[in-house]
Amino acid sequence: MRNFTSGRSSAPRPLLETTNPIQEDRYSSQRAILYVLLKSTIAIVLSLFAWEIIVRNTIEQSPGTTKHPILGRIYNPGDRIESGEGFSRTRMNSLGMRNDEILPKAQGEFRVLSIGDSFTSAEQVEDAKTYSARIGSTFKQQNSPVTVINGGRTGATPAYYLHLADFYKTQLQPDAVIVQINDSDFTEEGLDPTKEFYIRAQGNTFQAIHNQDFASDDRLSQLFQQKFPQLSFMLQISTLRVGGKNLQAMLKKQAKPTEAAPTKSQGNYDRLIEWTVVNLKAKYPNLVILHIPYVTFNNPNEPPNPAEAALIEIAEKHKVPIVAMRRDFVNYHQTFHQPTSGFNNSIPGTGHINEIGHELIAQRLVPLLEAMRKKTN
């Protein structure tokens, strides 16, 4: 009998639904890709974690930085490891300095503040082997009540020392101040307006400027802090920082050379150096200028940079004691055939001063500071 309830007849359905084999293969491939991606991600994360542990304990560790209202951007208190050149494991205090926390000045204490750039902070050598620490240990062996504060800071210039003089005198109360200077302080480093502190010409004189918009000298840090501030926490990852520094160094080598520093014949040294020396003398008690030269050890008779010669002449003119280390470094190398700069993991004779250089500096400074201490008493 015909079924008149429907105007059309339905085709018979199979008892079991069948799966499209092509679609099933596609799903299987996607699952396999996701599985591989997941395994790769886990492997990368674990590798980075392992490398972070290795890097933090052998290559670099930083407590991070903070912006101090007066000192500018400084290290947070905490451990710091540096091994890009030489090696040190140290601890930064609440002023971003390489010291224990600085105690109130004791009665009868003769306090020396040593300020300078990375040659003074000296993260290339261990704590006890910086020239500041060696001076302190020498006086300690003599039972002299002398304390030496290492106020060195990477990238610092005379603009920094001048701008912060009142803070240092009030907070640290030094009886004598060592200001470490090198030739670049009067050329590209000291006059660079992208730095946190720099010197700017003001008519016939100069002015120390604090760049309030400064973020960092490091290009990777600048990128994060200016473009992606919410990701700035990633700068605490040592592996990322080391990779960024290596990339920056590689790009710097490939960059076109910059213009040469001005020469004395251009009249750009004397006026700036004299202004710097006069103002440092006016702001700091018992000022001592320490000049660390760039020495070419395979050409020890090379004449000094014009800025070096001008600094020595001007310091003597204004009766500011100056310890110029060129002859000491050259004589040591000629006598013992060991350079006073460079390390086992860098090129000997280049870069920052090593333990030998720091020892020679301390030997020159101790008698001078002892004479100041006796005169003060």
CATH of the domain at 287: 3.40.50.1110
* Tens digits of residue pLDDT in 176-216: 999 999 988 987 778 888 888 999 998 889 999 998 877 66
Tokens of 192: 């660079």
Tokens of 359: 């020892």
Average pLDDT, rounded, for the chain? 82
Which value, to the nearest 10 degrees, does the dihedral of the CA atoms of residues 209, 210, 212, 214 take?
A: 100
Specify whether the backbone of 175 is left (phi greater than 0), alpha (psi in -120 to 50) or beta. Answer: alpha
Tokens of 67: 């912006």
Pairwise pLDDT comparison (360 vs 242), residue with the higher score: 360
Residue 5 lies in a domain: no
Q: Cβ atoms within 10 A of the Cβ of 7, count? A: 5
* Tens digits of residue pLDDT in 330-356: 999 999 999 999 998 888 899 999 999
Residue 306 lies in a domain: yes
Residue 7 lies in a domain: no
Pairwise pLDDT comparison (55 vs 313), residue with the higher score: 313
Pairwise pLDDT comparison (293 vs 89), residue with the higher score: 293
Within its chain, how far is the Cα of 264 from the centroid? 29
Once rounded to an integer, what is the mean pLDDT over residues 132-144? 96
- The H or E element that residue 40 is part of is helix 21-58
What is the predicted pLDDT for the residue at 376?
A: 85
What is the predicted pLDDT for the residue at 143?
A: 93
What is the predicted pLDDT for the residue at 25?
A: 67
Q: How many angstroms separate the CA atoms of 287 and 320, rounded?
A: 7
Once rounded to an integer, what is the mean pLDDT over residues 140-148? 95
Domain count, the chain: 1
* Tens digits of residue pLDDT in 275-290: 999 999 999 999 999 9
Pairwise pLDDT comparison (100 vs 158), residue with the higher score: 158
Residue 222 lies in a domain: no
* Closest-CA residue to 164 (of 155, 151, 154): 151
Q: How many angstroms separate the CA atoms of 30 and 9, rounded?
A: 41
3-class SS of residue 245: helix
Q: In angstroms, what CA-CA distances link 135 with 1, 220, 254, 354?
A: 118, 37, 41, 16
What is the predicted pLDDT for the residue at 250?
A: 58
* Cβ within 8 Å of residue 316, ≥6 positions away: 322
Quote the pTM value.
Answer: 0.78
Residue 245 lies in a domain: no
> For the sheet containing 88-92, what is the strand order?
60-61, 78-82, 88-92
**Domain limits at 72?**
59-217+261-376
Q: Which residue spans within 99-220 are E strands per DSSP?
A: 110-115, 146-150, 176-181, 197-202, 205-210
293 close to 173: Cβ distance less than 8 angstroms: no
* Tens digits of residue pLDDT in 301-314: 888 888 999 999 99
Residue 269 lies in a domain: yes
Residue 122 lies in a domain: yes
Residue 330 lies in a domain: yes
Phi, psi for residue 183 in degrees, rounded to 5? -60, -35
* Tens digits of residue pLDDT in 222-277: 555 666 565 555 555 555 555 555 655 555 555 444 433 444 444 567 999 999 99
Q: Cβ atoms within 10 A of the Cβ of 90, count? A: 18
Please report how the helices 270-283 and 306-317 are oriented relative to each other, as an axis angle in degrees rounded to 10: 40
